[in-house]
Chains A and B, each alone.
Chain A
Amino acid sequence: MAQLTCSKLTAGYEGKAVVKNISFAVNAGDYLCIVGENGSGKSTLMKTLLRLKSPMSGKIEAGDGLHLNEIGYLPQQTVIQKDFPASVREVVLSGCLNGCGLRPFYNRKEKKLAAENMEKLGITNLAKRCYRELSGGQQQRTLLARALCATRKILLLDEPTAGLDPVATAEMYDLIAELNKSGTSIIMISHDIANAVKYASHILHIGGQTMQFYGEVAKYEL
């Protein structure tokens, strides 16, 4: 069974459907890229997948040993974060919180996990730096390390290269491809179709309120 299956999903705001009739499945190790114009409903779909809003109709199911709250998430930057006084280590550690339950503090295992993920993304030397003083690329790595603390199985990335310079963008794509190779499934929202085709294994194209294409990248025509 696939890790994440969407069948005939309709999502939207306050009774108005933004995207209709979306069906796709993500298997372990897949790299799915959701592409579409600005305003086509990509972010709404993402929020519905994350259960931040409930679907208007249709179903989202998890399988293959995945629980719906084991989806790691790399959100777009919010205004709050622009002047938040937090060290990189504090931000990364906060990804471990879903394993804590009612326990008020992090245990040794979670601190180790955070340290490993910082090492993996090459930000160990930044651990004590203030998050708001980092470059865009470093901030994204920090948030990616946090997402990896929440799960190893599947990651949802919302425009991970928005606002990055070309060098940082290329590094980010390589990093994501590397994570994918080590077994993490990736769902990425992007309007950068060229890079989507280059890295992804599957493409989901949204336009005109519905699904224009879904399938393997080889069959996708630009």
Chain B
Amino acid sequence: MSFNERLDQLVYLFQNFAFARYALIVGVAIAFCSSLLGVTLVLKRLSFIGSGLSHVSFGSTTIVAAVAMGIGVENFQNNIFWVLPITILCSIWLLLSGPHSKIKGDSALAMLSVGTLAIGYLFMNIFPRSANLAADVCTVLFGSTAILTLGSKTWMVWLCVGLSVAVSVVFVLFYNKIFAITFDEDFAAATGIKAKVYNMILAVIIAVIIVLAMNLVGALLVSALVVFPALTAMRVFKSFRAVTICSVIVSVVCSTFGILLSAMYDNLPLGSVIVAVNIAVFAVFSIIGLVLRRG
């Protein structure tokens, strides 16, 4: 098929099928809110919290599904209502443990992420949800393979959009506080900012974002969606506000581009295409950054 034919096919797809449009809406919404906290996570040395938490939600997904089968609930699809609270709890535990706790942040993260990944895979094998185990595992780890799976459940689309809007509103309202506790938590606490409360809010937002983003790119690639736009923006921009705005734009553009590419070519899996586009943009911004500094 030539490029023009594929383009026509793409236009046809979006004109005639609601699921394609829904997939794009979900993708943009998730990309938008997942990039908001990237800067904060990178600077707090928590880049891998995305990985850790996504493994937690992978583990809890499979356990919840197995329990649902055990008590005889068939077609258990609303598991996000169980997975989200579990992930939020783990996120709070990780973020609040702080630098002085017995198990340091990075080792706690490693324990949690590998542990839940193993338990999750174990449960998947003991209680297989469908005949095609490999495909199930692949979807959870690498995200929706095609836009069909992303946009087919209407309630999921609205849930994603709703949560994204909620996360964005909370982020804007607490923008200055998040800046302060990221830049200098001690100073904020000393001058009477309730740093613990805001860290808690941060933990909840991060957990929601991770669970949402898993739908788009899967458990293994979530960190990329959270961290790449922020790192990309940091190559070129110097102020917190400029970096935040730029990373949102980069994230939305990359995800949109990735979704369209994946829809045009059947053999391109959605999640990895989005991450690949992000990598390419990161490379471009790195070069621009270098040139600006030289010039």
Contact = CB atoms under 8 A, between A and B. Distances in A.
Interface string B236-280: 011111110000000000000000000000000000000000000
Contacts of B176: 93-94, 97, 100, 104-106
A52 interface: yes
B186 A97 contact: no
B240 A95 contact: no
Interface stretch (B18-26, B130-138, B150-158, B167-175): B167-175
Contacts of B108: none
A129 B39 CA distance: 18
B240 A97 contact: no
Given A97-B191, A104-B172, A130 B238 contact: yes
Contacts of A221: none
Interface string A72-90: 1101001011011111001
Nearest to A105: B176
Contacts of A100: 176
Contacts of B192: 69, 98
A153 B130 CA distance: 68
A150 B188 CA distance: 10
B180 interface: yes
B129 interface: no
19 contacts: A50-B186, A52-B189, A71-B190, A73-B186, A75-B186, A75-B187, A80-B45, A80-B183, A86-B239, A87-B240, A90-B240, A95-B191, A98-B193, A104-B173, A105-B175, A106-B176, A130-B238, A146-B187, A150-B191
Interface of A: 47, 50-52, 69-73, 75, 78, 80-81, 83-87, 90-91, 93-95, 97-98, 100, 104-106, 128-130, 133, 146-147, 150-151, 156
